């Protein structure tokens, strides 16, 4: 009886959603441009909320979370894409992260599903590459980020379990290439360091001479420079002679 009631409620809900979407699409055909990005984003957001409500009534229907996430994702993409001043690379990075998030959720839900980290990290790395390419960096710097992104999973495998020493081979190679590209991209820093070091040495050389105070050789100061009496050397006596009274 309860299952029948749940199916009835789901049928009513999906019927209402289909009717609402049908009305929206019909009005869009009759009045082109009537609905903006905000309205379409709201439509998909409402659909996601309604579907999630059906999931909360019966959590055994876990597959309902898939359309919930998809509709929420579409609503966010429509809204972000409507921002004119936002670069297209940012939208692409958001798409990659949105694709990788469900895999990360699967791993966090059950750590035994470690395979889900592979697509999650891949999407995150691609998103990072897209964002880095937006910065005013040289091609060598972007390539260095790519190499480090490839090396990171292998180095993590080795640090997580030192018996997997084989992970150091690809991880180390990619890391070395990344360091080389980083140095090539930051080649201007070495001449700058040399210039700064040279200026510092010159400052020490000339500044030290100006700070040294020479002893006066003439004038009143010279007359009093050596007024301190100098004691003559007195031999140290010991033994019986030290006990005799001194004259």
What would the DSSP string read from start to end of 155-203? HHHHHH-TT-GGGHHHHHHHHHHHHHHHHHHTTTHHHHHHHHHHHHHHH
Please enumerate in sequence order all residues whose Cβ is within 8 A of that of 31, keeping only pairs 6 or more positions apart, or say none: none
Dihedral of the CA atoms 126, 130, 132, 133 (nearest 10)? 130
pLDDT tops 60 at residue 241: no
User: 242 or 174: which carries more pLDDT confidence?
Assistant: 174
Query: How many helices, marked H, and strands, marked E, lie in the chain?
Result: 10, 0
pLDDT band at 49 (very low <50, low <70, confident <90, very high): confident
Rounded mean pLDDT of the chain? 77
| 118/184: higher pLDDT | 118
Confidence band, pLDDT 50/70/90 cuts, at residue 65: confident
At 165-177, the pLDDT tens digits run: 899 999 899 999 8
CB 96 within 8 A of CB 126: yes
pTM greater than 0.85? no
pLDDT at residue 233 in the model: 47
């Amino acid at each position: 009886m309860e299952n029948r009631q749940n199916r009835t409620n789901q049928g009513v809900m999906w019927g209402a959603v289909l009717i609402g979407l049908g009305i929206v699409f019909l009005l869009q055909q009759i009045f082109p441009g009537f609905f903006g990005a905000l309205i379409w984003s709201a439509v998909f957001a409402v659909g996601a909320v309604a579907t999630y409500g059906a999931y909360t009534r019966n959590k055994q229907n876990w597959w309902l979370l898939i359309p919930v996430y998809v509709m929420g994702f579409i609503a966010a993409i429509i809204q972000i894409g409507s921002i004119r001043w936002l670069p297209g690379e940012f939208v692409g990075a958001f798409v990659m992260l949105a694709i990788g998030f469900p895999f990360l959720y699967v791993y966090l839900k059950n750590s035994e599903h470690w395979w889900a980290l592979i697509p999650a990290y891949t999407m995150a790395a691609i998103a990072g590459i897209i964002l880095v390419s937006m910065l005013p960096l040289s091609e060598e710097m972007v390539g260095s980020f790519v190499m480090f992104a490839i090396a990171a999973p292998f180095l993590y495998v080795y640090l997580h379990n030192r018996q997997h020493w084989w992970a150091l081979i690809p991880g180390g190679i990619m890391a070395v290439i990344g360091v080389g590209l980083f140095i090539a991209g930051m080649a201007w820093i070495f001449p700058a360091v040399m210039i700064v070091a040279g200026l510092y040495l010159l400052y020490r050389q000339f500044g030290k001479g100006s700070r040294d105070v020479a002893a006066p050789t003439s004038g009143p100061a010279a007359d009093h420079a050596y007024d301190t009496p100098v004691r003559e050397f007195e031999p140290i006596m010991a033994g019986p002679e030290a006990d005799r009274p001194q004259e």
